[in-house]
Amino acid sequence: MSFNKAVIRSIALVAASAAPFAFANSPAQGLSPAAAADLLFQLESLQQEVQQLRGMVEEQEYELKKIKERQKDRYIDLDKRISLIMSTASSQAPQEPVNSSANSTQPSGEVGVAPVAVAPISQSAGVNGSNTELEGGSSEGPLSVVEITEPSDEAKSAYKASYALIREKKFEEAAQAFDDFVLVYPSNTLTGNAHYWLGELKLVLGKPSEALDEFNMVVMKFPNHSKVADATYKLGIVNDQLGNKDEAKAFLQKVVSQFAGTNSATLAAGYLNNME
């Protein structure tokens, strides 16, 4: 470390400056008490400086260790998110439209929570019963349930092409493609899925507030969609990561109560236990 080298150079410099003095006052010429005391003082001062420098080095090493640990934790978290997206993408069949009806059968190969018949999350109240504006500071007004239509062949092709970018790990391009998809096709049976994947992609790209917007889109505009349980769970997780503890608990408790028996409910219950 360059800092350690600086310490060594400092010690050498002091020793070198003291050497001529010690030689000039060698026993052959006689070492006066004053000179001996002065030399002893210099040595004690040098020892104190070395101790101080050593303490500074140890403090810097400790801080560096903490920084490395934080970077490692962030890398592991990012790697888990990417692995989750890739494992899900490899097993999903995007060419089959995902029916957003809660009473429909989930296509084979779709990873996530199976659709269950549940009461949709209230459109007139948010998590705390106050409003339905998007979490994360979105400027959009209250969201209303969209009237679902069947996707056209063009929509299916666009969705499939967007999804393929996830498999290719082109996350920036995939996010842009899905952004375009939801603008062009705002209300077909694939739009809810597109918003959900946009949320996942925004997390991978380090944009948690935008991820909240996308997960909220799924919950509020597509209340009977098969991805609502997953999206609500993610709203809880991301809010917790952003420090919004009350909102996080409200979303997670909603998953446990409204989607009992699903994988998302199990995960939400476990997460709540860890928060307490």
The CATH number of residue 224's host domain is 1.25.40.10
> How many structural domains does the chain have?
2
HEC sequence for 259-271: CCCCHHHHHHHHH
65 and 154: one domain? no
Say whether both 32 and 98 belong to one domain: no
Rounded average pLDDT over 151-176: 94
Domain around 6: 2-73
Range 4-12, long-range pairs (CB < 8 A, 24+ positions): 4/57, 6/53, 7/50, 7/53, 7/54, 7/57, 10/49, 10/53, 11/46, 11/50
| Average pLDDT score over the chain | 74
Of 50 and 96, the one with more pLDDT: 50
Asked if residue 120 belongs to a domain, the reply is yes
Please check whether residues 9 and 65 belong to one and the same domain. yes
Q: For residue 216, what pLDDT is reported?
A: 95
pLDDT > 70: percent of the chain? 63
Same domain, 142 and 214: yes
Alpha-carbon span 260 to 162, nearest angstrom: 32
Three-state DSSP state, 149? strand
Whether pTM > 0.85 for this model: the answer is no
Task: Tell whether 122 and 38 lie within a shared domain.
Answer: no
Name which residue leads in pLDDT, 82 or 253: 253
Same domain, 115 and 213: yes
Domain assignment present for 22 = yes
pLDDT at residue 198 in the model = 96
Shared domain for 268 and 168, answered yes or no, is yes
- Structural domain contains residue 86: no
Residues 46 and 162 in one domain: no
Listed as own residue / partner, the contacts of 246-251 with beta carbons closer than 8 Å and 24 or more positions apart are 246/128, 247/127, 247/128, 247/135, 248/275, 249/275, 250/127, 250/128, 251/127
- Is residue 101 pLDDT above 50, yes or no? no
